[in-house]
Amino acid sequence: MTDRPGIPARELSDEELERQGVHAHAMRHWVFLHGTAEQFRTHTERMLELEQEYLRRHPQRTWQGSGGESAAGSRDDRIRDLVQTFSRAITALLDEEPPATSGAGTPRPDAATAQAALLQRFAEAPGGQLHKLEAHHLARELTSDSHLVARLYRQEPSLLHAERDMRVITDAGRAWLAQHAVPA
């Protein structure tokens, strides 16, 4: 059975609510590290909707509904917690660099320049390799194109290849870089 995020959590069966909740928590790490801002926002909204519905149906199964002194069991306390969570998220977004710039505050390069800059980082790295998370992080700093690293694998000839958790520049990648060198 596939997830049906379009169905409001209140309309899900108990079994489906629990299954989607478990799936949402399992996916959280991937969405946090690799998802787009929109995917992260959508995932967060859905996960909170599922959690709140689970808490409404089964308050005694969670610390929030246990009734202990440290529990935030009342409806008002839960609303207060959600408002504080959203307030922190909004503050963090306002503190971010505008999307038209890289993390360093410089204008984002065009696609070819971003590809050359990323391949240059690979070429400069020991053994011509970077950890996959570092590669994706660098790509996000260089361009808003979330598929840059994937395209470097898929194009023919491949400019990168995978060796377990490492991403390695190929001979074809070095040749492409030599033809499209990034100005110093």
For 55-61, the CB contacts below 8 A with 24+ separation are 57/14, 57/17
pLDDT of 66: 57
Average pLDDT over residues 68-83: 66
Q: Is the pLDDT at 17 greater than 60, yes or no?
A: yes
For residue 107, name the pLDDT band (cuts at 50, 70, 90). very low
pLDDT tens, position by position, 44-65? 889 989 988 888 888 877 766 6
Task: Quote the pLDDT of residue 184.
Answer: 58
Give the mean model confidence (pLDDT) for residues 85-97.
70
pLDDT at position 159, please? Answer: 94
Long-range contacts of 140-149 (CB under 8 A, 24+ apart): 141/102, 141/103, 141/104, 142/102, 142/108, 142/109, 142/114, 142/117, 142/118, 143/108, 143/109, 143/111, 143/114, 144/99, 144/108, 145/111, 145/114, 146/36, 148/111, 148/114, 148/115, 148/118, 149/118
- pLDDT per residue over 142-160, tens digit each? 887 778 888 888 889 999 9
SS (H, E, C) the chain: CCCCCCCCHHHCCHHHHHHHHHHHHHHHHHHHHHCCHHHHHHHHHHHHHHHHHHHHHCHHHCHHHCCCCCCCCCHHHHHHHHHHHHHHHHHHHHHCCCCCECCCCCECCCHHHHHHHHHHHHHHCHHHEEEHHHHHHHHHHHCCCCCHHHHHHHCCCCCEEEECCEEEECHHHHHHHHHCCCCC
Q: Where are the domains of the chain?
A: 9-95, 111-179
Report the range of poorest mean pLDDT among 12-16, 34-38, 71-75: 71-75
| Amino acid letter, 64 | Q
Q: Is the pLDDT of residue 122 over 90?
A: yes
Q: What is the pLDDT of residue 3?
A: 45
Q: Which of 22-31, 68-77, 168-177 has the highest mean pLDDT?
A: 168-177
User: What is the band of 2 on the pLDDT scale with cuts at 50, 70, 90?
Assistant: very low
Judge whether residue 21 has pLDDT over 60.
yes
What distance in Å separates the CA atoms of residue 37 and residue 34, rounded to the nearest whole number? 9
- At 119, the pLDDT band (50, 70, 90 cuts) reads very high
Evaluate if residue 174 carries a pLDDT over 80.
yes
| Section 128-138 average pLDDT | 89
Q: List the CATH code of the domain at 111-179.
A: 1.10.10.10
